[in-house]
Structure 1
Amino acid sequence: MNFTQSFRLAVKSLLTSKMRALLTMLGIIIGVAAVIIITSLGNGMQNYMNRQFEQLGANLIQVQLWGLGGGMSSRTVDPDDMYELVDKYPQYLSGVSPYVMTQGLVRHGSDEYEHTSIYGVSEFFYDADRGQTLSGGSLGEGRFLSYIDVDRYQNVCVIGSYLARDAFGGDALGQTLTIKGTPFTVIGVMSEYADSTEGSGDDVIYIPYGSAMRLNGTGWVDLYLFNSADNDTSNVAKGLIESRLYQTFQTEDAYFVMSSAEMMDAMDSMLNTLMMILILIAAISLLVGGIGIMNIMLVSVTERTREIGIRKSLGAKGRDIRSQFIIEAGTTSAIGGIIGIGLGIVMANVLTNVIAFALGTGNDGFVAVPTLGGIAVSFGVSVGVGILFGYLPANKAARLNPIDALRYD
């Protein structure tokens, strides 16, 4: 009996008891669908995060200083030190912006905004050539902070689209709001970045970092954003920053420097590890499905004992019987794998819409991406599981004594 005949017999056997066949495939279907969904969501999240990092620019370098003003070290660096470093190495560093986060009640008239994020930055935070801030936002109206604004601690601000719409009805330029009781004049409005809701990425205010320091009542900055001159000099620029900070603090424990490329690699590594763990968990369903196939094939061998005896008495060899049952087990798992792949792709598309809606990114944001490689591996594993767990029943069938099989009732 050749492969084609064995395959036809396998399909005929499955069609004879459709419900039993479906229940037998259920573990394989769930396992394959879970693997497809996990890999699709993982690839989609990886692509989404990479696009976010690309918006920031591959030459962005973040510098975090630990314990300034908290007693960790009497040595400090200030914005002038960082500006001096940029001026000293213009071939490696193109600019720096202090990044001061502050909190406080924002008011406009009788309206209060408690969840607005307030950031103190320099004029370099906005790159006019790229038309973007270092955080990936773009300017919609007016202008961004200038050198004069920052140098003179002027009380001006650039606000997000949420405040522009909710507080000023879309006409914000030249208007005034207060932060911790201090009035600030709106000189610019950012384009919509998130979903223009309270507390979102559009509920922000950018002010000169010196003004933010005054609002905080502190005399230091613990976070800086540098830009290397280009992508190729990013590692050299990072080394120069680390060398400068070590000269001041004499310990590497006082600061942390990371480039956007390193951030991207770290996030990819974490996501890949998480995906692998979830895939291994999903593989348990494939194991359960394989056990289910083995059980049902053992039952099938018992039910078809007389058929096996008749075939052997007519000249069928043990390897023919073995191959028939192995092909039947493989066919069962292959069909389950195909159904699981289809279910996984459908669910991945459904989850794409759900997650994109939750993130407020629309069609250009998060997209779950089923890969051909993932589909092929899932299908191959499902068939392999069927063959592996089908071998024991097939071997049992092949070893049946034809006389005993014919006498079986």
Structure 2
Amino acid sequence: MLAQINSLGSNLLMVFPGAAGQFVRGSGGSVNTLTLGDARAIETLPGVAHVAPMVRSSVLVTYRNKTWTSSVQGTTPDIVSISSLQLAQGRFFNDAEVKSLAPVAVLGQTVYENLFPYGGDAVGSRIRLRGETFRVVGVLQSLGASSGGQDRDDVVYVPVTTAQIRLMGVSDQSVQLLQVQVAGKDQMAAVQSDISTLLRKRHRLGPKQANDFNIRNIAQVQSTAESVTGLLTVFLAGVAAISLLVGGIGVMNIMLVSVTERTREIGVRMAVGASRQDILRQFLLEAVLLSLAGCFFGILTGIIGAKIFAALAGWAAPVSLFSVLLAVGFSLAIGIFFGYYPARRAAGLNPAEALGYE
């Protein structure tokens, strides 16, 4: 989850139309409070590296006899730097094509694989979006699934102006989102304040009027997510500690029963020359082997469970060598710690009493 959030960049601001918590609908929100003009104005602020306005909608993509329902996102070339997009084929559209409302498109990997199942070069091909013909100029490398399991490759990028006029019929240049990349982390607060001041001025909001936009700081989202995952880590560690304690008590009880059942055997061994240290080592070794047997089945179950979870949830759930070694180390420690008392008890038996035990 943290990796997906961090992939957005810690120096990213997201500007949405409407006040915080306000329901928005349509291409630019219920009151269409953000426009391309706002994006161009924000670009001039000091500390702003890139601004990518965005409109999006679901669309049926057609290529020859192949069709695929995907998400079309109208934006600008700045999205390449903001989202760290990599091209597998061709190029991304440029500023000139944004200004001229050019019908060009860049395909995500999922869209490409469904429209071009046999592979090959898609650049130059003609696809149709809502009855409009678009020329494919590039194909993106795979980005994988988001933290929520959403396929980030199931997208078609087109110039924002083309999407507004040709696909969505937007005449007021309204947008659904502005992604603002700040030059440095230390400038985040200043740029966020500057954007708020600029938009209030552009939207002619009075001193007592609430913002008709809201700004989300990805760095704050990261901080919150890290706090939540930190608490989850502590919680899971607590559950694991209780499990280890219960398991250790189980090992100790089994070994105590074993000592009781084998009292005569212990007496015989002592009578033929076994020292107390030999008895201690024997039972301690048995406790460790018992723990390692449980460790083996636990690791096997964990690996199988991780693979099933990865297949069902669509998330990567690799089992590292360090995790396996850590499990083995804890099992050894549990075996030694909880097996020492039964082993010490066995080694402390009186040989004569042990031989006469019934």
User: What TM-score, normalized to structure 2?
Assistant: 0.70
Cα 1:344–1:182, aligned 2, differ >3 Å: closer, same or farther? same
Q: 2:113 & 2:66 partners in 1: Cα distance?
A: 13
Q: 2:230 & 2:338 partners in 1: Cα distance?
A: 29
After superposition, the C-alpha distances for 1:104-146 in whole angstroms (9 at most, x for unaligned) are: 22223443222x221111121124xxxxxx3333123333222
**Matched residue, 2:13:** 61
Q: State which of 78, 98, 101 in structure 1 corresponds to 2:53.
A: 98
Q: 1:151 & 1:126 partners in 2: Cα distance?
A: 17
Q: 1:82 & 1:329 partners in 2: Cα distance?
A: 74
Cα 1:166–1:295, aligned 2, differ >3 Å: closer, same or farther? closer
Q: 2:128 & 2:235 partners in 1: Cα distance?
A: 49
Given residue 173 of structure 1, which amino acid in structure 2 is its aligned partner? V
1:178 maps to 2:128: yes
**Matched residue, 1:107:** 62
1:210 maps to 2:161: yes
Question: Gaps (5+ residues) in structure 1?
Answer: 1-44, 128-133
1:305 maps to 2:255: no
The structure that is helix-richer by fraction is 1
Q: 1:230 & 1:58 partners in 2: Cα distance?
A: 9
Q: 2:300 & 2:348 partners in 1: Cα distance?
A: 43
1:224 maps to 2:185: no
Mean Cα displacement is larger for which, 380-389 or 139-148?
A: 380-389
1:119 maps to 2:73: yes
Q: State which of 354, 361, 382 in structure 1 corresponds to 2:331.
A: 382
Q: State which of 276, 291, 316 in structure 1 corresponds to 2:249.
A: 291
Query: Higher RCO, 1 or 2 (CA under 8 Å, sep at least 6)?
Result: 1
What are the residue-to-residue correspondences of 1:72-91 with 2, within 5 Å? 76-89=33-46
Cα 1:299–1:360, aligned 2, differ >3 Å: closer, same or farther? closer
TM-superposed CA distance for 1:257, in Å, is: 1.1
Q: 2:24 & 2:246 partners in 1: Cα distance?
A: 58
Contact kept in structure 1, 2:68 and 2:115, CA below 8 Å: no
After superposition, the C-alpha distances for 1:9-57 in whole angstroms (9 at most, x for unaligned) are: xxxxxxxxxxxxxxxxxxxxxxxxxxxxxxxxxxxx86xx27x845x54
TM-superposed CA distance for 1:404, in Å, is: 5.5
Given residue 121 of structure 1, which amino acid in structure 2 is its aligned partner? T
Cα 1:333–1:391, aligned 2, differ >3 Å: closer, same or farther? closer
Contact kept in structure 1, 2:291 and 2:334, CA below 8 Å: no
Q: 1:201 & 1:74 partners in 2: Cα distance?
A: 28
TM-superposed CA distance for 1:213, in Å, is: 3.4
**Matched residue, 1:18:** none
Contact kept in structure 2, 1:68 and 1:76, CA below 8 Å: no
TM-superposed CA distance for 1:179, in Å, is: 1.5
Contact kept in structure 1, 2:63 and 2:126, CA below 8 Å: yes
Given residue 334 of structure 2, which amino acid in structure 1 is its aligned partner? V
